[in-house]
Amino acid sequence: MPSTSGIIEFKYGLQAAYNSAAKNANTIYFTTDAQRLFVGDTEYTRPVSHGAALPSSFLPPDSLFVLEAGTARSLYFSKDGKTWELIAKLNATIANGVVGNNTEGAVDFGGSFKVPKVTYDDRGNITAAEDVTITLPAKPADIKNTVKVDGTGNAVTGATFDTAGHALTLTKGETFATKASVDALAEKPAMDITSTQITNWDNEVGAKAIANAAVKANAAITGGTHTKITYDAKGLVTGGTDLTAADIPTLTLAKISDAGDAAKKGVATTVTAGGTDLPTAGAVQTAINSAISGVTQFEIVKVESFDKLPSTGVKGVIYLVPHTHGSNDTFDEYIWNTSAAKPAYEKIGNTDVDLSGYVPTSRKINGQSLDADVTITTITGNAGSANKVNHAITIDGQKFDGSAAVTISTAKSVSSLTDTTITSAANGNSLVYNGTAWVNKTLTKADVGLGNVDNTADSAKSVASAGKLTTARTITLEGDATGSVSFDGSKNVSIAVTGVKAAADGEGNNIVATYATKAEVAAAALKWQTI
């Protein structure tokens, strides 16, 4: 480990030179070929080395090493720099390819096919792969099967195969009633069978057992009413369910009496005039698209002025141009007219409507409604003397009814003004409202809230700031540095300082003995040395 306050040295060289050199704990070593860093004999780099054998020295903790064995690679990790742990492995290269690739298609007797055989290690890496060929046996010879019947009767009571399994022997041992004999019995009425006959037949040795063996009873079922019945070969009902949609066969229109006229129509893929078939949705859409193909959808476009209109207009576009000749509508409307001899913009109008000069037709003049021309033949009442108002008004103390002119005097004193707009005050005065009237008045300090204002001339006042001091002041430096200058604030000044070289710092330390010179610092700079 480095020693505290020890002088640090830097050295560089080859790794071999470092390995054989005596190590100084205060020296930092750089190996230029291995690019490793050491302080003394302790390494501070984490190299990734490689070779045919794991190293046993000169490796710091947390190092990586690639072990090489031909084309195989194994990555090892050392936590303590002494023991190694395998963390990854790349096996030796093997021939790449595909195994188990069968291209023959179907395999017949005597044919072969490939089965892949893969070898892998304990880490799941494939180390080998090959094809294993499997051949099927040859086609066997044809085998003939035979059937042999032994015994008498019309019912088979047994069946056996030979040891090879190619010969079947059927044994007859019972005689069942024929269809003819059963039919003959069925023709006899039940009333002809006596109870004695039934008892004798029931007591006949083996008769009942034979009958039970010939016709076995069905399992019990749940009674009910259904539209779909299941029965066995004996004609006995074994179950019943209701019909489902899958049980109903496809019916033609001829078998459906109330399908309506639409069901009798065919399907048309195009819409034609006078057609009786029902068109498809696609045919209807095509017909609609064709019918409206010539219809242009209108679009509204606003421009700044008429000269900002496009040189060529667009069909279906209404251009709005601002104007100022109306208050209820602020735009003129233009379209591009292509039907003219020379296509151009055509004004289609505006919606200026000014009804300010109109009155409702419900109003009446002299008893006549305004829904038609009005003719006035007689004027009565106050309207008969239009040169006079009905009620006289007072103007400047004078009665005025329109019958004669009046003269208004403007020579009024300010004291007589009430609710009057004053445009100017009397010379040397100000207009002041005293709570009753506007009056001329010479203002005092008390009138404007300046009772404490000093009216002393500026030249005789003391002020908070000024561009120049009344009396210039001298600024003097004392101590280790001396100097002085006169200052009145009218301009910037500079002090010429006379200094004395200090022998000690602020702490009293001798400067020469305590601090190094520039040359001394340069001489003490760290320099590279070789290992």
**Residue length of the chain:** 531
Separation CA 409–CA 146 (nearest Å): 155
Separation CA 531–CA 281 (nearest Å): 95
CA angle (166, 167, 168) in 5-degree steps: 120
Please state, in angstroms and as integers, the Cα–Cα distance from residue 335 to each residue in 157, 298, 301, following that order: 105, 10, 10
Pairing of strands 344-349, 331-337: antiparallel
Q: Quick count: other Cβ atoms within 10 Å of Cβ 274?
A: 4
Token pair 């003719």: residue: 375
| Whether 310 contacts 328, CB under 8 Å | no
Residue 424: predicted pLDDT: 59
According to DSSP, residue 207 is labeled H
Pairing of strands 473-477, 228-231: unpaired
| Whether 335 contacts 309, CB under 8 Å | no
Separation CA 9–CA 28 (nearest Å): 6
Residue 45: predicted pLDDT: 84
Residue 406 makes CB contacts below 8 A (sequence gap 6+) with 395, 396, 398, 400
Separation CA 244–CA 255 (nearest Å): 19
Instruction: Copy the structure tokens of residue 206.
Output: 């083996």
Residue 506 makes CB contacts below 8 A (sequence gap 6+) with none
Residue 372: predicted pLDDT: 76
**pLDDT tens, N- to C-terminus, the chain (531 residues):** 788 878 889 999 999 999 999 999 999 999 998 888 999 988 888 778 889 998 877 677 788 999 999 999 999 998 887 889 999 888 888 888 888 788 777 888 888 888 888 888 877 788 888 888 888 888 877 777 777 888 887 777 787 877 766 787 878 877 776 767 666 665 555 545 666 666 666 665 555 555 555 556 667 788 888 877 888 877 778 888 887 878 777 767 666 666 666 666 677 888 787 777 778 888 878 877 776 666 566 788 888 888 889 988 888 888 888 887 766 677 888 888 887 778 888 888 776 666 666 777 777 877 777 777 777 666 555 554 456 766 777 777 777 777 777 777 665 655 555 555 555 566 667 777 777 777 778 777 777 666 666 666 666 666 666 778 888 899 888 877 788 989 888 889 888 888 777 788 888 888 888 888 888 887 777 777 888
Radius of gyration of the chain (CA): 65
Which residue, 100, 164, 163, is CA-closest to 134? 100
Separation CA 488–CA 398 (nearest Å): 74
Separation CA 159–CA 487 (nearest Å): 146
Residue 463: predicted pLDDT: 63
According to DSSP, residue 504 is labeled B
Separation CA 34–CA 16 (nearest Å): 10
At 306 the three-state DSSP class reads helix
Residue 360 makes CB contacts below 8 A (sequence gap 6+) with 370
Instruction: Copy the structure tokens of residue 35.
Output: 């690019």
Residue 11: predicted pLDDT: 94
Token pair 């090493």: residue: 65
Q: Is the dihedral of CA 227, 228, 230, 234 positive or negative?
A: positive
- SS3 letters for 107-129? CCCCCEEEEEEEEECCCCCEEEE
Residue 417: predicted pLDDT: 53
Separation CA 11–CA 133 (nearest Å): 68
According to DSSP, residue 191 is labeled G
Q: Where are the domains of the chain?
A: 9-90, 179-214, 296-380
CA dihedral 486, 488, 489, 490 (to 10 degrees): -100
> Letter for the amino acid at 402?
G
| Whether 32 contacts 13, CB under 8 Å | yes
Residue 348 makes CB contacts below 8 A (sequence gap 6+) with 318, 333, 334, 335
